[in-house]
Amino acid sequence: MPRNMSFMLTQEQIRNKTKTVTRRLGWWFLEPGDILNACEKCQGLGKGGKIVKICQIKVLHVRPEILYNMPPLDCEKEGFPEMDRYDFIEMFTKEMRCERNAAVNRIEFEYL
């Protein structure tokens, strides 16, 4: 049974299939070939809330990296072609409450 992964901040990019990379502060157990349910939100749903699945994705590559070492071309892969890497890193650190030198898990995937 596939695990659920939240894409609360990038639902539109997932629905449009313009996002092929995500960065996470966890998910270190993932391996290429793993299938995931991309969902709107997975936690904090409130009483009676249900998980809404958007689609399924297949993990292609995973690797650890320091956030500030993010390649510039990954902004587009993250679904933010209008941002440069500095804007993306600023947004990520604010939303995830981490530092720009945080170790993140870079997860590349394809849509099923």
Beta-strand ranges (E) seen in the chain are 3-6, 21-24, 35-39, 53-66, 103-111
Residue 66 carries which DSSP code?
E
| pLDDT of 1 above 70 | yes
Q: Which structural domain, as residue segments, surrounds residue 44?
A: 3-111
Q: What is the edge-to-edge ordering of all strands in the sheet holding 3-6?
A: 3-6, 35-39, 53-66, 103-111, 21-24
What's the predicted TM-score (pTM) here? 0.92
- 85: domain CATH number is 3.10.400.10
Which pair of tokens denotes residue 86?
A: 């500095």
Q: pLDDT for 63-79, tens place per residue?
A: 999 999 999 999 999 99
Domains contained in the chain, number: 1
DSSP three-state, residue 73 = coil
